Structure 1
Amino acid sequence: MPLKKKFLTALFLLFLSSVHAQKSQVWKEVQAGVWKTQIGNLRHISLLQAAGAKSLPEGLKSLPQTGFPLPKDEIKFKIIDKKIYLSFPLASDEQIFGLGLNFQTVNQRGRIMNLHVDHYGGKDNGRTHAPVPFYVSSRGYGVLIDASAYMTVYVGSNVRSDSKNRPPIQDRNTDKNWDSQPPSDALEVLIPADGASIYVFAGPSPMQAVQRYNLFNGGGYLPPKWGLGFTQRVPTLFSQDDIIKEAKSFEDHQFPLDFIGVEPGWHSASYPCTFEWDPTRFPRPKAFLDTLSRMGISANLWLNPYVSPKSSLFAPIKKYTGSHLVWNGIVPDFTLPQARKLMRDHFVKHHLDIGVGGYKIDEVDGYDFWIWPDVATFPSGTSAEQMRQIYGLMVQEMTASWFKEKNKRTYGLIRASNAGASHLPYVIYNDYYSHKDFITALVNSSFIGVLWTPEVRASKSAEEWVRRMQSVCFSPMAMLNAWADGTKPWTFPEVAQAVNDVANLRMQLLPYLYTTFAQYRFEGKPPFRSMNLVDGFAFKPKGEKGKVDATENPYGMSIKNDIKDQYMMGDFILVAPMFAGEKSREVYLPEGKWYDFYTGKLVGENQKIQITPSLDKIPLFVKDGAIIPMVPVHRQAPKDGQHYPLEVRHYGQKASTWKMYDDDGRTFDFEKGAYTWTELGVRRGENGQLEGRPKQVSPKANFGYMPEIQWSFMTK
């Protein structure tokens, strides 16, 4: 054989060896309604492994049993040069949700996403605080790609030449309906790795697909009751005396306060951190924490997990750290048990043993010039890219485990997360500050198993202040982050009463809100939910053709009309935030009758309504048959042995039942059965009038409420 021919043959064989394709992949049902397949050679750590996720089989079995939700023969993959190419089918009317914590869009179909842990930079391009590679279809299924790698997702953005549903050929010169982005029937993913696990979650509804995803990852986190109260983060260099004074000012104003955020000045050195108390500002840290505890307040400490040379932890942990510094601190490799143990021993000694309640974990996301670069190396052999995708998960899982060892629930803040995080006790925050985009992020968080807070820091006007405070009080964490501005809830006196009212309303709703988080834990239902997860939500997005502009939009790209500024809190309450400068807004109501929360009056049914609310109230609507348990106004979550009177509101004319959850509100004893579900029900009596049952909560089945129930029928 001629040399040239031999060379070409060898080259062809080499190419074939680098390409692996399999027409029929084996899918194994690993839990009820959850299927898994493995592609290629798995890396030593995945996203779910980093998150420490453990599924809840009983919760998964309680969901409707159904078959594999996609045509298996239309799911394709191949490996070329140690990169995975995936393709999933899309129907023409299918909407796709999820794929990270997005701030401006809800339906991701037609987009290209580069999923990469990072600060949010103002565009929904995949670089975000939680680039979770999980998507949910409007057709009622979900797909997770479990690989600790950057990946690119083409969400029906490009048409394949072998498509079964090729779009019609159009001529821009003659066809007014010409589309610069013809519809594609494939969702495709490029993963720069030669191994990954793929999971498919059945529905049959989008909500049930999300529930399966969350339950597969351990269910949602159930915060301590104090975590659902109000939190104030104090200025950076406050001392222990300053913080005690701040806490007393909340007492003086009769404003709710359950935990205080202590910012970087508590460290003896920060950026990077010692994780040891500064002796000038905090000379008696245990006495400080004890004083706060007597005031009913938990302390949450700011940190970034990069070790200062001034820390006593520096020398022993140095050999378990990466090749590059962050904020001039060494970066522990938390895939190594030695690094985790050293960190644990240091934190338990200096924090947990003296009463610290939790952490705010900063700077684990980006930007590229702040965090370690992709050329960094780590002693475990974990690549810099992998470490970027899992670091926030590992820090969450590690710190959460320390509190669980003490049988103490915690609740804190994190800058980076990823798949498998629903069971972890952290809420995402960032430095971005668009009120509207914050609400869109809250909507999107419900698809991907993370929590998000639209925190308040400062405002340009009293109107903006009260509108932001209203939104944050209807979110997973009601937080005023005053680290830089020193703001207080009463900073704008002209709206101080309205701010106080909405904070008090959150506290009154604690039985309902706590039950909503219990549903997250036991049933996998997100506590704050996109309208796209609600049964009977009839809104259908339409792509509106964009105006042609030679510079900004030369191809007339279409604009989506997502519903991204309203959401559900739990089963019954629809939240429609207002924004500064807006006097009215539209609200889309799902099927069934809906009522005003404050008055009980009917507002509409399966329709779009226009509302013009007053400044002092956030618009809230409740569905027919809603059962809302409440308690009187109180500043703090109940302590051991403290019981509040219980009022249960009913809205509309529909008979219904709903289960209210309770436990001790602070330990993990509920995992051993120390909890109750009390069924609350409304029916029509023989006289035709609505009546509520039971009249009392059994003392044996009650943790935080007095036995007597006051029933209130809001719709007259």
Structure 2
Amino acid sequence: MITNTELEYKGNLYPNHIVEFKQDNDKLYFTSENGVILQVTILRGSVIRFRYATNYVFEPDFSYAIDEEASLGYSILDVTENETEYLIKTARLQLLVDKMTLRTQISDLEGNIINEDEAGFHWEENYEYGGNTVKMSKMTQTGESFYGMGDKSTHSNLKGKRVENWVTDSYAYGKDQDPLYKAIPFFIGLNKGKAYGIFFDNSFKTHFDFAHERRNVTSFWADGGEMNYYFFYGPDMSTVVSAYSNLTGTPELPPLWALGFHQSKWSYYPESNVKEITALFRENKIPCDAIYLDIDYMDGFRCFTWDKNHFPNPKKMISELEEDGFKTVVMIDPGIKIDRDYWIYKEALENDYFCKRGDGPLMHGKVWPGECNFPDFTNPEVREWWAELYKEFMSDIGVHAVWNDMNEPAVMEVPSKTAPLDTRHNYDGHPCTHRKAHNVYGMQMVRATYEGVKKYVYPKRPFVITRAAFAGTQRYSSTWTGDNVATWEHLWIANVQVQRMCMSGYSFVGSDIGGFAEQPNGELFARWIQLGVFHPFCRVHSSGDHGDQEPWSFGSDITDIVRKFVEIRYQLLPYLYTMFYKYSKDHVPMLKPLVYYDQEDTQTHFRTDEFIFGNQILVCPIQEPNAQGRRMYFPKGKWYDFWTQETLNGGKERWVTAELDKIPIYVKAGSVIPKYPVQQYVGQMVIKELILDTYFKLGIETSEVYEDAQDGFDYKKGRYSLRNFKLTGKEKSLTIQQFKDGSFVTSYEKLKFNFYGLPFKIGKVHVDNEEVDLKSMDSIKENSMLIDKNFTLLHITSK
């Protein structure tokens, strides 16, 4: 361990030697002679929390990020000491605390150092605002890589980068621009095949330096608050991401239609335009489940109102759209127009719900309606009021879902683009200024929206979207990457951002397909659709300033390509829904960068383009104009070409062809991929059979399919269907075992297996140990067969 030679350096203060140690069950307290207290909490054998107090005083222990339902608990906690340090041992880790400096070192049980303080905790008094700027610096190893941090529009590997978290309205942002719309202060470190994670739970503006200023130091600091961080140990990256996601939460299952294709624009109005767009979807036979109404549906941009000239009878319109399979999603912003004849403004004013400036006047700023006041969503009373405002929209008018925009909060015509820093907030009973509350403001708005939508769409499930987010917002809402641009660079950015968000615990995410600002050409739009259908949230959205951006806007050839890929998404809905189930229940990210998929392969550490969709489909978008193909890296294993079913072995880079109507898609050998027939919208047809595309492998592979009623909450009472398939392939035989769980009865009675890559000609088929007459199987020559959905054992042999 390094020792402190000085207690103060360049204005920074450091802890000195420990004078007191005490233990209170899972909490250990180390007090330095100059008033620093380090509180170490053992949450799990591989999850440790570190909090530092100065002047002997901890702040109230409160966080918006932590999920109340996080599963915690440990089996082993031993504390010993020697002349120079304290040694804390759990079932997975060893922690050293240096007696002279309070620095820490974390290693695995074999003694391999995972993470080590450099200067460790230090602080600097903030004379302008009071409190401290709190800092932490760690040693960085030579080959160490860093990932995560939310929506950063930069290379997936953050080594050598410096970033900050301050949610910002970043219209038409560029590559490497920072900060953006999200503040997720969580990163994953990877060194020598071992992964760990650090979540800095501090809602002030936070800063991270990943060996940028000094090659051997990674540091993070905040403009106020406490040095309060969580350490997660892998050694697998999947364990780290899962532990972080368990701590900050995952969403409940959305309605299945929320995973369909959605169409949006700023703005579709009047009603006749909305009807025209939805009719063209059905006419062109391009599946679509939702149509979005941007701010122009409102009366003078007043939230919770309708422009009766453009939408004379919204309830009737929404009902008619629903009959044609379209759900209606409306935008709600935080700014409330200052208008004494506007009932929501009057109600908020009378109840003292608006944010105030430091000396008492209401905080106001210009947004779309003009001058606005802003509700203080960090006040639980305000959140409760806001949730109730959705009653008329959801219960009476029939709106299906809500989209919260501008909730950073965005304020126009001021240099900061947001509320003044002296704006005061309740912060759930911990009063503070906007310096502390800014990053959570949008999160608390969408939390209130989620509670209201959930209450008033019941017994259906809520679907909510947000632009601004802090760690933990994924519990309430889906999100998108904000106001991007119709350029090839932004196609690359969208790919990296969505992978990064998934690694940061926030999987229900997508981009504005085609770009929000400016106008794509047909080729760019097609390539963006090809990427976007493999993102968890799939929506076209544009500013509308430069022309139309509907699937049929670029000529018949592009329309055909769009239709083809949207149909693939609808076929893969049961696969996508299963991905969401795994995310929701088991904290598994829905998209996986190659480094997550195989961290031991150093070739994956700097890959940005390829990703794993779910667990078994490899996707690589085309991100350059006029491309007829590209080079891509295949991770280890055997892969089937989705288009041709040809196989290749991974572990190397290859050239693959991909003309405009295709992108490289590959399926992992041994996979059983569930599919539905193409529908124009979720629920259009009763599913008569579940298609199972089965890709042969020598060896064993497992797959699963999760299904339920596609909406409602019966699945929480056991009314779901979970099919686990274990595939065992040999040179002359294939065995598939099915294990079932749940009481939901699916609408289909048959499973249709399509076999690819069988190394033998089918000679015999046994289902549950009874031989099947091959003559009764019409499609056996095409290596396809229908069998009862309740089978337990399927055995296929060459003779």
Please tell me the TM-score bracket, short chain as reference.
0.7 to 0.9
* 2:752 corresponding residue in structure 1: 710
Tell me if structure 2 keeps the 8 A contact 1:393–1:417: yes
Residues 442-487 of structure 1, C-alpha deviations (whole Å, 9 max, x = no match):
2211221224313224654322121111111111122111451432
User: Which runs of no fewer than 5 residues in structure 1 stay unpaired?
Assistant: 1-11, 160-182, 542-560
Residues 498-556 of structure 1, C-alpha deviations (whole Å, 9 max, x = no match):
11010000000011110011110011111112111103662447xxxxxxxxxxxxxxx
Q: Does 2:525 align with 1:465?
A: yes
Distance 1:522 1:698, change over 3 A: closer
Tell me if structure 2 keeps the 8 A contact 1:658–1:680: yes
Tell me if structure 2 keeps the 8 A contact 1:658–1:681: yes
Structure 1 residue 53 displacement after superposition: 2.5
Distance 1:17 1:212, change over 3 A: closer
| One-letter amino acid of the counterpart of residue 510, structure 2 | T
Structure 1 residue 92 displacement after superposition: 2.2
Separation of aligned partners in 2, 1:22 and 1:232: 61
Q: Does 2:168 align with 1:102?
A: no
Separation of aligned partners in 2, 1:452 and 1:501: 22
Distance 1:603 1:19, change over 3 A: closer
* 2:548 corresponding residue in structure 1: 486
Q: Does 2:502 align with 1:446?
A: yes
| One-letter amino acid of the counterpart of residue 112, structure 1 | R
* 1:137 corresponding residue in structure 2: 189
What SS does the corresponding residue of 1:470 show, helix, strand or coil?
A: helix
Q: Does 2:559 align with 1:526?
A: no
Q: Does 2:364 align with 1:324?
A: yes
Tell me if structure 1 keeps the 8 A contact 2:266–2:542: yes
Alignment of 1:510-589 (within 5 A): 510-535=573-598, 538-540=601-603, 562-579=606-623, 580-589=625-634
What SS does the corresponding residue of 1:27 show, helix, strand or coil?
A: strand
* 1:154 corresponding residue in structure 2: 209
Q: Does 2:304 align with 1:290?
A: no
Tell me if structure 2 keeps the 8 A contact 1:100–1:128: no
Distance 1:706 1:128, change over 3 A: same
Among candidates 304, 322, 333, match of residue 376 of structure 2? 333
Separation of aligned partners in 1, 2:258 and 2:269: 22
Provide the alpha-carbon RMSD of the alignment.
Answer: 2.9
Structure 1 residue 616 displacement after superposition: 0.8
Separation of aligned partners in 1, 2:124 and 2:658: 57
Distance 1:103 1:613, change over 3 A: same
* 1:393 corresponding residue in structure 2: 443
The TM-score, its normalising length taken from structure 1, stands at 0.84
Among candidates 621, 641, 644, match of residue 599 of structure 1? 644
Among candidates 561, 565, 569, match of residue 498 of structure 1? 561
Distance 1:631 1:123, change over 3 A: closer
Q: Does 2:93 align with 1:30?
A: no
Tell me if structure 1 keeps the 8 A contact 2:721–2:743: no
Distance 1:565 1:675, change over 3 A: same
Separation of aligned partners in 2, 1:268 and 1:371: 24
Distance 1:56 1:670, change over 3 A: farther
Residues 563-596 of structure 1, C-alpha deviations (whole Å, 9 max, x = no match):
1112111000111001223222111111111121
| One-letter amino acid of the counterpart of residue 711, structure 1 | F
Q: Does 2:475 align with 1:419?
A: no
Distance 1:470 1:123, change over 3 A: closer
Distance 1:395 1:497, change over 3 A: same
* 2:727 corresponding residue in structure 1: 682
Separation of aligned partners in 2, 1:59 and 1:409: 31
Residues 357-403 of structure 1, C-alpha deviations (whole Å, 9 max, x = no match):
21222112347543213243346643112222101211222211223
**Greater strand share, 1 or 2?**
2
Among candidates 284, 287, 296, match of residue 265 of structure 1? 296
* 1:77 corresponding residue in structure 2: 121
Structure 1 residue 658 displacement after superposition: 1.5
Residues 627-657 of structure 1, C-alpha deviations (whole Å, 9 max, x = no match):
2111111111237x93342111122424322
| One-letter amino acid of the counterpart of residue 68, structure 1 | L
* 1:3 corresponding residue in structure 2: none
Residues 276-333 of structure 1, C-alpha deviations (whole Å, 9 max, x = no match):
1222222222222222222222111012111113431101213221223241211110
Tell me if structure 2 keeps the 8 A contact 1:117–1:130: yes
Separation of aligned partners in 2, 1:674 and 1:32: 34
Q: Does 2:166 align with 1:116?
A: yes
Tell me if structure 2 keeps the 8 A contact 1:236–1:262: yes
* 2:701 corresponding residue in structure 1: 656
Structure 1 residue 44 displacement after superposition: 6.1
Tell me if structure 2 keeps the 8 A contact 1:449–1:526: yes
| One-letter amino acid of the counterpart of residue 312, structure 2 | P
Comparing 483-492 with 136-145, which one deviates more in the overlay?
483-492
Separation of aligned partners in 1, 2:16 and 2:386: 44
Distance 1:93 1:251, change over 3 A: same
Distance 1:60 1:707, change over 3 A: farther
Among candidates 536, 556, 569, match of residue 476 of structure 1? 536
Comparing 207-216 with 664-673, which one deviates more in the overlay?
664-673
Distance 1:567 1:437, change over 3 A: same
Distance 1:514 1:623, change over 3 A: same
Separation of aligned partners in 1, 2:179 and 2:327: 33
Structure 1 residue 259 displacement after superposition: 0.9
Separation of aligned partners in 1, 2:744 and 2:159: 47
Separation of aligned partners in 2, 1:443 and 1:59: 30
Alignment of 1:216-365 (within 5 A): 216-236=247-267, 238-270=269-301, 273-310=302-339, 311-318=342-349, 319-322=352-355, 323-327=363-367, 328-365=371-408
* 1:615 corresponding residue in structure 2: 660
Residues 676-697 of structure 1, C-alpha deviations (whole Å, 9 max, x = no match):
3111232348x92324444x98
Tell me if structure 2 keeps the 8 A contact 1:66–1:203: no
Tell me if structure 2 keeps the 8 A contact 1:321–1:379: no
| One-letter amino acid of the counterpart of residue 390, structure 1 | V
Comparing 532-541 with 217-226, which one deviates more in the overlay?
532-541
Separation of aligned partners in 2, 1:53 and 1:472: 29
Structure 1 residue 672 displacement after superposition: 3.5
Separation of aligned partners in 1, 2:721 and 2:17: 50
Higher relative CO (Cα under 8 Å, sequence separation at least 6) belongs to 1
Tell me if structure 2 keeps the 8 A contact 1:69–1:141: no
Distance 1:268 1:98, change over 3 A: same
Distance 1:711 1:269, change over 3 A: same
Alignment of 1:7-18 (within 5 A): none
Tell me if structure 1 keeps the 8 A contact 2:526–2:562: yes
Tell me if structure 2 keeps the 8 A contact 1:472–1:478: yes
Comparing 478-487 with 355-364, which one deviates more in the overlay?
478-487
Distance 1:500 1:567, change over 3 A: same
* 1:437 corresponding residue in structure 2: 493
Structure 1 residue 437 displacement after superposition: 1.1
What SS does the corresponding residue of 1:261 show, helix, strand or coil?
A: strand
The TM-score, its normalising length taken from structure 2, stands at 0.76
Residues 22-67 of structure 1, C-alpha deviations (whole Å, 9 max, x = no match):
7764422224632222222666686x41x57333429999xxx962
Separation of aligned partners in 1, 2:239 and 2:741: 32
Separation of aligned partners in 1, 2:735 and 2:601: 32
What SS does the corresponding residue of 1:706 show, helix, strand or coil?
A: coil
Distance 1:693 1:577, change over 3 A: same
Separation of aligned partners in 1, 2:13 and 2:636: 53
Distance 1:373 1:638, change over 3 A: same
